[in-house]
Structure 1
């Protein structure tokens, strides 16, 4: 990820990809290798927080959830991003996106609620969504006041280069 937003960020949250999402392992490795602080999602019930990932070895040792996503166990005490200075950048997943930055997640509202919580803490991170070209639409349904837009949508174009659209 060679973006000015990435290079300028010191505290970055990255989702840990599932089989139907853009793979993020190489981005996670770059965050860790760049002396940036890497945060990953930790889901618990109806809420999500971003917790620190210390190293590649730490990642490899994470257990799998019922959704087949690597995540720290509930009794694994980790640094919480919002309690220690917030985030500069959040790299987000989703099922569908518009070039205007609308995002359709998986219906639980985890990222929408988390972004609202960031704003309550006075933290306004840059948000970037990664998607496949087939996930892009002119318009997608959004719930005003509930669904949060992303600042940038990044996808591979037909020449397999990364394209981006900024909101």
Structure 2
């Protein structure tokens, strides 16, 4: 077990360095390719209730998808993390103006305050699609996150609560798709990995 944790730790450092080495232009170029792939994907087009992560500087930018989903009248949910635990919920975002007004967290991502009463996805009908961030992926659908387990915990909860669990699509820079990554039993596989290649 510890060997896997150690391997993951080293790989995380390596990937963070690699992603920090990408120019803003290259990140924007790859983000544009991946966002278009999402917008044209059947799972996205058919989705009515979906969760979209609000991207950090070293993740595929999701602004275009967020705007498109809101414009299309989909029910959009965004992650709300508790940095003191592994708790995360998905809460409703109703408009771009509301997104603009959200405060920033210490991770430099927008997020509604934890104490703010908001509609939660699993309490109001579940989700049919979750767009998933991460640090590393394999084409077979394995994912390595940032080590807190937010998404693995949430995806496991979706499978417990929903009769039909949501589909999952991970968004990745080409540099994040690897031949293999160390995995543990708690790591939930992702259905589809979309990258810019």
Shift of 1:46: 2.0
The whole-number CA distance in structure 2 between the counterparts of 1:36 and 1:103 is 26
The whole-number CA distance in structure 2 between the counterparts of 1:49 and 1:96 is 22
Shift of 1:120: 1.1
The whole-number CA distance in structure 2 between the counterparts of 1:96 and 1:116 is 19
Find the counterpart in structure 2 of residue 91 from structure 1. 131
The whole-number CA distance in structure 2 between the counterparts of 1:152 and 1:9 is 15
The whole-number CA distance in structure 2 between the counterparts of 1:46 and 1:142 is 18
- Partner SS, residue 115 of structure 2: coil
- Partner SS, residue 157 of structure 2: helix
More relative contact order in 1 or in 2 (CA 8 Å, sep 6+)? 2
When normalised by structure 2's length, the TM-score is 0.78
Bigger CA radius of gyration: 2
The whole-number CA distance in structure 1 between the counterparts of 2:166 and 2:110 is 23
Q: Identify unmatched segments of 5+ residues in structure 2.
A: 1-38
Of the three residues 46, 50, 64, the one matched with 1:8 is 46
Find the counterpart in structure 2 of residue 19 from structure 1. 57
Question: Larger deviation: 9-18 or 72-81?
Answer: 72-81
Size of the aligned set, in residue pairs, is 156
Q: How does 1:6-85 map to 2 (within 5 A)?
A: 6-44=44-82, 45-85=85-125
The whole-number CA distance in structure 1 between the counterparts of 2:109 and 2:101 is 12
Could you list the structure 1 runs, at least 4 aligned residues long, displaced by more than 4 angstroms after superposition: none
Cα deviation 1:93-133 (Å, max 9, x = unaligned): 00000000000000000000001111110240000000000
Shift of 1:75: 2.4
The answer to whether residue 178 in structure 2 is matched with residue 137 in structure 1 is yes
The whole-number CA distance in structure 1 between the counterparts of 2:115 and 2:90 is 15
The whole-number CA distance in structure 2 between the counterparts of 1:119 and 1:21 is 26
Shift of 1:76: 1.7
The answer to whether residue 165 in structure 2 is matched with residue 124 in structure 1 is yes
